[in-house]
C-alpha cells in the first residue's frame, strides 16, 4: 500500500472519498459556534431495571408514555457511567435485559419558538441496543454500544407552549451470536440446581460487559440549512501541504460555501469556495507523532461558513474542524508516517475504571494521557471497541497514534460468520469510519480482535469486510489482530499489516520464561516469511498482582512480569531492524472481567493498577520507550520532551 505520488493523488483524492462514502448523514462532533449551541445532559437521570421474568414489563406497561416515577420506584443514576457498579443491589451487577433511563429537560425559549432552529438529540454511547422516546413519542433506535447516534427532535419540541421535554431511553445489554461483540444466552434447565427460567450471558472476550449510557448525552442546535458532514484527506508535495475537502449540506440546495484554513496562530494560510476542493499550504507544518518531531501534533483549523437565502431571510452556519496534514503508507517491512519509518511503542487500553465502569470521565482521561506521555508511549490500540470521541481528540492534540478497532472481539462461533453478522459488521465499520475519518491520529483500522479466523467462512467474511473498509477509506491501511497460526489464518492475506497476539510462558508453557525467545522468533519469522508484510506485536504480557514479589521470578509477581517483558524485548530488538514495526503491551492498566477462577478481581496484566499506580514493569517500559524514541533519528525532539518529564514519576 505505497503512498500515491502527489500528481495522481491530486486527481484521485477527492474522487475516492466521493465514491466511497455512501453513508446516510454525517456525524460531526457537536461544537459550539456562532450558529450552533450545545447543552450536555450529564448528571443524574431516573433509572429502573426491568427485573420481570421476560424483561418486557416496561413495554407491556408502556413506561415511556408517562414520567418513569409514575410506574414505580426509580433510582438516581449518573450519566455518563455504567449502571453495574454504582448501586448496592447485587442484581444490577450482572443484570442482563432492559434498563430504563429518563431525564426531563427545560429548553431555552429560542429553541422551542424559532422554527429556523433545528434541535438534535445526540447519544454518545448506549450499550447495547437502545430505543429512544421524546415526550412519549418514539424517535429512534440504535444497535451497537460504542458509537454515537442522533435524531432531529425539532417537531416534538416546537409544537406548542411547552418549554420542557422528557427523554426516555431503554437499553438492552443482551449479546447474541450476531451482535458486536457476540455472546450467547444460556438457559440452565436443571431445576435441581437452578431456579425456573434461570439464564446467564456467556461471552468469548476477557472484559466485563458493562452497560448503560457510557458517554455524554446532549442536545445541540443548527440552522435548518446546515453543514451535515465534512470529509478531509491530506497529502504532501515536497514542502506543500495538500488538503482535500468535501462538504455535505442538508436542508436546501441554494447556498454558498466559504472555506478557510487557519494555522495555530489564527492566520489564514489557504482559502477556497464551494463544496469540494483543494487547499495548498506552502511550507506546511506536518502532523507528527509524539517524540517524532520537536513540534508534534500540529493542527490547522478548517473553518467552513455556509450562507443561504430562505423565505425567512439569510441563514448562516459555521463549523470548525481540526486538521492535521500527514501521510500514511505501508511497505513490506515498514510503516511510514510522512514518509519516515514509524515504530509503534505503546499500549493497549480499555475504557474501564472503579465505580464508573466504562463511563466517560475527564479527570481519568487526562490522567491516562499524562501517564502515556510520561511513559514515552507514542501509540495505542482502542482494544476492543471504538473509544469516546474526546479520546480521539486528545490523541490528535498530543500526537498519540491510534489503531482504531471495531467491537469485533470474540467472533469464535460459526454462526457469527453468517450474512446477518457480516451485514451488521459492515454497518459498524461505516459508522466508525464516518465518525473518525478526519482524525490525523488514526493511522489504521482494525476490524476485529482474535477471531476464529481458521473457520472456513472466515476467509470470505474478512475479505468482504476489509474490502468494504478500504472502500470507505482508501487512505488508511486495514488490519485485524490475530492469535491464529499463519498456516490456518484465512483472513490474513487481506490485511495490510500483520498484528500478532502471543502470551509465551503465560498461557503457553506457563512459568517457563526461558522458552520465550525461541518461540517468539519462530512465530515472527513464520508470519513474515509467509506474507511479506510488516508485523506488530500487538499483545504480550503477564498477570501481576501489585506488591507480589519473588526471586527467582514466579508467576503473578512483579519480577515475573518484568522478566517476561525483557525476554520479549530481546527478540523484538532484533526483528525491529527488519520487519517488526511495533510493540503494544497488554495492558496499560488492570481492568474488570467476568468472575472466574482465573481472574482475581479482573485482568491484572496492566503495567499500572486499575487506580493508575505503577508496577515495576511501568518503569521498565518507560526506560525502553524513551530509548526507542532516542534511537529513531529524532532523538533531539525526544530528548527535549524527556527533559520536561525527567522526574522518575512526576507528571
User: Hey, is 211 helix, strand or coil?
Assistant: coil
> Cα dist. 17→9, 97, 235, 473 in Å?
12, 40, 14, 7
Q: What is the DSSP string of 150-182?
A: EEE-HHHHSSSS--EEEEEEEEE----TTSSS-
389, 430, 450, 583: which one is catalytic? 450
Phi, psi (deg, nearest 5) at residue 603: -85, 130
Question: Looking up cell 459492515, which residue turns up?
Answer: 426
Separation of alpha carbons 566 and 543, rounded Å: 15
Alpha-carbon gap, residue 40 to 29, rounded angstroms: 13
- Alpha helix (H) ranges present in 61-164? 90-93, 109-113, 154-157
Task: Write out the DSSP string of 434-476.
Answer: HHHTT-TTEEEEEEEES--TTSTTHHHHHHHHHHHHHHH-TTS
Beta-strand ranges (E) seen in 263-419 are 268-273, 276-281, 300-310, 313-323, 328-330, 335-337, 340-341, 344-348, 379-381, 401-405
- Give me the sheet containing 217-223, strands edge to edge: 38-40, 217-223, 117-123, 149-152
Give every CB contact of residue 579 below 8 A, 6+ residues apart in sequence. Answer: 332, 333, 524, 528, 533, 534, 535
Starting at the edge strand found earlier in the chain, the sheet holding 340-341 runs 328-330, 335-337, 340-341
135 near 165, Cβ under 8 Å? Answer: yes
Known catalytic membership, residue 104: no
Helix (H) or strand (E) holding 223: strand 217-223
C-alpha torsion 626→630→633→637, nearest 10: 80
Report the C-alpha gap between 644 and 651 in whole angstroms.
9
Beta carbons of 71 and 63 less than 8 angstroms apart: yes
SS3 state of residue 380? strand
Catalytic residues: 450
Amino acid at each position: 500500500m505505497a503512498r500515491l505520488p502527489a500528481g495522481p493523488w491530486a486527481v484521485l483524492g477527492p474522487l475516492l472519498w466521493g465514491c466511497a462514502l455512501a453513508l446516510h448523514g454525517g456525524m460531526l462532533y457537536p461544537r459550539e459556534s456562532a450558529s450552533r449551541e450545545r447543552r450536555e445532559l450529564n448528571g443524574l437521570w431516573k433509572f429502573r431495571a426491568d427485573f420481570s421474568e421476560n424483561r418486557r414489563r416496561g413495554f407491556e406497561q408502556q413506561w415511556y408514555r408517562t414520567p418513569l416515577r409514575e410506574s414505580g420506584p426509580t433510582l438516581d443514576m449518573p450519566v455518563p457511567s455504567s449502571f453495574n457498579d454504582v448501586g448496592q443491589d447485587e442484581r444490577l451487577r450482572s443484570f442482563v435485559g432492559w434498563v430504563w433511563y429518563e431525564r426531563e429537560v427545560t429548553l431555552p425559549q429560542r429553541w422551542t419558538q424559532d422554527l429556523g432552529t433545528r434541535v438534535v438529540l445526540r447519544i454518545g454511547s448506549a450499550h447495547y441496543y437502545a430505543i429512544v422516546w421524546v415526550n412519549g413519542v418514539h424517535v429512534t433506535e440504535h444497535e451497537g454500544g460504542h458509537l454515537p447516534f442522533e435524531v432531529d427532535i425539532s417537531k416534538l419540541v416546537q409544537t406548542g407552549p411547552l418549554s420542557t421535554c422528557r427523554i426516555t431511553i431503554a437499553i438492552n445489554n443482551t449479546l447474541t451470536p450476531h451482535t458486536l461483540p457476540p455472546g450467547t444466552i444460556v438457559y440452565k434447565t436443571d431445576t435441581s440446581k437452578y431456579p425456573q427460567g434461570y439464564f446467564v450471558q456467556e461471552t468469548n472476550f476477557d472484559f466485563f460487559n458493562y452497560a448503560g449510557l457510557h458517554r455524554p448525552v446532549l442536545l445541540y442546535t443548527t440552522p435548518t440549512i446546515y453543514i451535515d458532514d465534512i470529509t478531509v484527506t491530506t497529502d504532501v508535495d515536497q514542502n506543500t501541504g495538500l488538503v482535500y475537502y468535501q462538504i455535505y449540506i442538508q436542508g436546501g440546495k441554494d447556498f454558498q460555501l466559504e472555506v478557510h484554513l487557519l494555522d495555530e496562530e489564527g492566520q489564514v494560510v489557504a482559502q477556497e469556495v464551494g463544496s469540494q476542493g483543494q487547499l495548498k499550504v506552502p511550507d506546511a507544518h506536518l502532523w507528527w507523532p509524539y517524540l517524532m518531531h520537536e513540534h508534534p501534533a500540529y493542527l490547522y483549523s478548517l473553518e467552513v461558513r455556509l450562507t443561504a437565502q430562505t423565505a425567512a431571510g439569510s441563514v448562516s452556519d459555521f463549523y470548525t474542524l481540526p486538521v492535521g496534514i500527514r501521510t500514511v503508507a505501508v511497505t513490506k517491512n515498514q510503516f511510514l508516517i510522512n514518509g519516515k519509518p514509524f515504530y509503534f511503542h505503546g499500549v493497549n487500553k480499555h475504557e474501564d475504571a472503579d465505580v464508573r465502569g466504562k463511563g466517560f470521565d475527564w479527570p481519568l482521561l487526562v490522567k491516562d494521557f499524562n501517564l502515556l506521555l510520561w511513559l514515552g508511549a507514542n501509540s495505542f490500540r482502542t482494544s476492543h471497541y471504538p473509544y469516546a470521541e474526546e479520546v480521539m481528540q486528545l490523541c490528535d492534540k498530543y500526537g498519540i497514534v491510534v489503531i482504531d478497532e471495531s467491537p469485533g472481539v470474540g467472533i469464535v462461533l460459526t454462526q457469527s460468520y453468517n450474512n446477518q453478522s457480516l451485514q451488521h459488521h459492515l454497518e459498524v465499520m461505516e459508522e466508525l469510519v464516518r465518525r473518525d475519518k478526519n482524525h490525523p491520529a488514526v493511522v489504521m483500522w482494525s476490524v476485529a480482535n482474535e477471531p476464529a479466523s481458521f473457520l472456513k467462512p472466515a476467509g470470505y467474511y474478512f475479505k468482504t469486510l476489509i474490502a468494504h473498509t478500504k472502500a470507505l477509506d482508501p487512505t488508511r491501511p486495514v488490519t485485524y489482530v490475530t492469535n491464529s497460526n499463519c498456516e490456518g489464518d484465512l483472513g490474513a492475506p487481506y490485511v495490510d499489516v500483520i498484528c500478532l497476539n502471543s502470551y509465551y510462558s503465560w498461557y503457553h508453557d506457563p512459568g517457563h520464561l526461558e522458552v520465550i525467545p525461541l518461540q517468539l522468533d519462530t512465530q515472527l519469522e513464520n508470519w513474515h516469511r509467509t506474507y511479506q508484510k510488516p508485523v506488530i506485536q500487538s499483545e504480550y504480557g503477564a498477570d501481576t498482582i501489585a506488591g507480589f514479589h519473588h526471586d527467582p521470578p514466579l508467576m503473578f509477581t512483579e519480577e515475573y512480569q518484568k522478566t517476561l517483558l525483557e525476554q520479549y524485548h530481546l527478540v523484538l530488538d532484533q526483528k525491529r531492524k527488519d520487519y517488526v514495526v511495533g510493540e503494544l503491551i497488554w495492558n496499560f492498566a488492570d481492568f474488570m472481567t467476568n468472575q472466574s477462577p482465573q481472574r482475581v478481581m479482573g485482568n491484572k496484566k496492566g503495567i499500572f493498577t486499575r487506580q493508575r499506580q505503577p508496577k515495576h514493569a511501568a518503569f521498565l517500559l518507560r526506560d525502553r520507550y524513551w530509548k526507542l524514541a532516542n534511537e529513531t533519528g529524532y532523538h533531539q525532539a525526544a530528548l527535549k520532551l524527556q527533559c520536561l518529564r525527567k522526574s522518575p514519576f512526576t507528571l
